[in-house]
Each structure stands twice: as structure tokens, then as C-alpha cells.
Amino acid sequence: MEIHNNSCRNRNCPNCQAVLKEVWVDKRRAEVIDSPYFHVVFTLPHELNPLIYCNQELLYGLLHRCSAETLLELSRDKKYLGATPGIIQVLHTWNQELDYHVHIHCIISGGGLTADQKVRKSKSRFFIPVKVLRDKFKGKYLAYLNSYYECGTLSFSASCKDLQNSYQWNEWKNRLYEKDWCPYIKETFNGFGNAIEYLGRYTHKIAISNSRILSVTQTESTFSARGKKPGDPKREITLSNTEFIRRFLMHVLPSGFQKIRYYGFLNNRMKSKNLRIIFTIQGYQNFKRRYTDLSIAELLKAVWNFDPCICPACGHAAMKQLGRSYVPSS
């Protein structure tokens, strides 16, 4: 692991996310319930990209809303689960080439609370048919989007100004209805701990890590990317420095935008009460938090066996921590 002595704490910095990720994973592990967990990905069609880019906060938020409403409404249906699951959602806007590719990762529990405060669990397979999930999500997103258009809420850049014409808008919207918005059910996890460790890769990830950047010259940047299909070898992509920076900046989220959100029995307002009920019914809590009330120095030592108080030059523990920098307890 590469250690940096200073931190900018910016969420778009590739060097400042490791500690935050470990703390986040530790908190989420303490929210385990005894059920299978599933990884669902909702991706928006690229035809929406120009409109989304000039309405980022509004339409990123809409993606969160529609994903959550789709999963919650179908999960509460007795045909599928008949209970309210716990959902964690993480917004991403890139692919391996750093192109604009708006999608959302969802970890959803295969168990939850029923209306009469009982715990109901699904079997090992994902409990909502993919076609039902697709149609529900697509219908919701386009219906809300159309209501924004009719209310005059949307902004239009030069790349999508034609959509200001109502005829063009309806033609474009109908083409989107005809497209297949197939969600992707990526994984079935045996335990919540495994699911959270997996999702931890996505939560504090940025568009590109330093390890993927192979070379930088005065005019070009070269980075690695996965093969386009599973099993394909890694590729090398070379862009002009201007184009590389342009692509990276596309993925800087609006200031203050919450890219990680919680729904169902994990919603922030009722989470403590819901988990207390579930753990009481289960009779146990799978995991306890490990990093509560540790200083950042203690956390580095606990996770990576690195002691920042030891002088790297002489090897003696002669350095002192100034100020208070503790991992929050909640």
C-alpha cells in the first residue's frame, strides 16, 4: 500500500478514499441480517446522456428514486417477497474508457420486515423477475422525466436543444420506451459481509485509479482498461491530455450530492429501530463494529499494520499526532 502523509479529503482524489472505505464497510457490516443478498445494476440508455449531463443533480437523484421505488414496491408485493428489504445504492457515471455511462449499483437483501413486523426471507435466487423489474423501472423513470418536462424544470444544452420542441420530445420519448432497459442481476451473495466487501469496491471508487495510469507525456495519457468481454486481455487506451481531463471531469459529481443512499429498513430515519426489531427476532447480530472511536493513526495500524507515529527515517516512535482525528462512532 502507498502511504501519503497529507490528505486533501476530496472524494474525487484517488489517494484519499482507502480509510473512508474501511470505515464505511465496518459500519455496514454491523447492519447484517440473516438473508441472501443480491447485486442489481440499473443503467440508463446513452440517448439520455446529453439531457442528464445538463441536469445532473435532478436526474441523478431521479435515478436513485426510481431504482429504490422499483425495488421496494415489487419487494413488498406478496407475489415476490412480501416484505420491505434493506437497500444500499451507489451512483456511478463512467465505464472503463471514462466515457459517460450513468448507472447505479444496488445491494438488496433477500429478506426484510413485513407490515406486521415479522422477518420474511427469500430463497437463494433473486425473487423479482427481470422483465417485471425492467418494465417497472423504465416506466417510472420516463414518467417522472416527462412530468419534469411539462413543468419546465429541465435545462437544455446545445446538444439537446431540439428536445425543447414538444413534437421532438414526444418522438424521442417514444424511442426510449421502445428500447430494452434490461437491468443486470450481477451476483448472489451467501452473506451480507461478502456483499458489503464487494460493494466497498464501488462506494469510494473514482473514475480511474492511479494504478491504471500507465504513462503521461507532455501531450498524451495512456491507461489500462479491462477487455470488452470476460476473458479478453486488458487494453491500453491513449488519449490527448486535454481529452483525458475532459473525460475525468465529466464524473465529478455536483457539490454536496449524495451518491450513496439507503432505503427500505436501512433508511436513515428508521434504521436503528428496524435493525433492533430484526436482530431481536433473529436472536443475534452477525457482526459488531471493529473501528469505533479509533484515531486515524490507530485505524491505519489496525487495518494495514502501518504505524504513522514511527519515523520513516530512523525507525523510532518519535512522532506525535497533533489534534484529534477520530473515526466517528455513528
Task: Report the alpha-carbon distance of residue 198 to residue 209 in Å, rounded.
Answer: 17
Residue among 257, 127, 129 at smallest CA distance from 182: 129
Residue among 32, 38, 30 at smallest CA distance from 123: 38
pLDDT single digits (tens) 16-70:
667 778 888 888 888 888 888 898 999 999 999 999 999 999 999 999 999 999 9
C-alpha distances in Å from residue 55, one per residue of 60, 89, 154, 160:
8, 20, 7, 12
Q: Where are the beta strands (DSSP E) in 229-311?
A: 235-240, 260-264
pLDDT single digits (tens) 292-324:
777 777 777 777 777 777 777 777 766 665 554
C-alpha distances in Å from residue 195, one per residue of 1, 72, 109, 296:
23, 19, 10, 25
User: To 10 degrees, the CA torsion angle through 111, 113, 118, 124?
Assistant: -10
Task: Report the alpha-carbon distance of residue 42 to residue 101 in Å, rounded.
Answer: 11
pLDDT per residue as tens, the chain (330 positions): 555 555 666 777 766 667 778 888 888 888 888 888 898 999 999 999 999 999 999 999 999 999 999 999 999 999 999 999 999 999 999 999 999 999 999 999 999 999 999 999 987 688 999 999 999 999 999 999 999 999 999 999 999 999 999 999 999 999 999 999 989 887 666 666 677 777 777 787 788 988 899 999 999 999 999 988 888 999 999 999 999 999 999 999 999 999 999 999 999 999 999 999 999 998 877 677 777 777 777 777 777 777 777 777 777 766 665 554 555 555
Contacts of 31 (CB under 8 A, 6+ apart): 86, 192, 266, 271, 275
Check if the beta carbon of residue 308 is closer than 8 Å to that of residue 297. yes
Burial of 23: CB neighbours in 10 Å, binned 0-12, 13-18, 19+: buried
Which pTM does this prediction carry? 0.87
pLDDT of residue 16: 67
pLDDT of residue 188: 67
Burial of 193: CB neighbours in 10 Å, binned 0-12, 13-18, 19+: middle
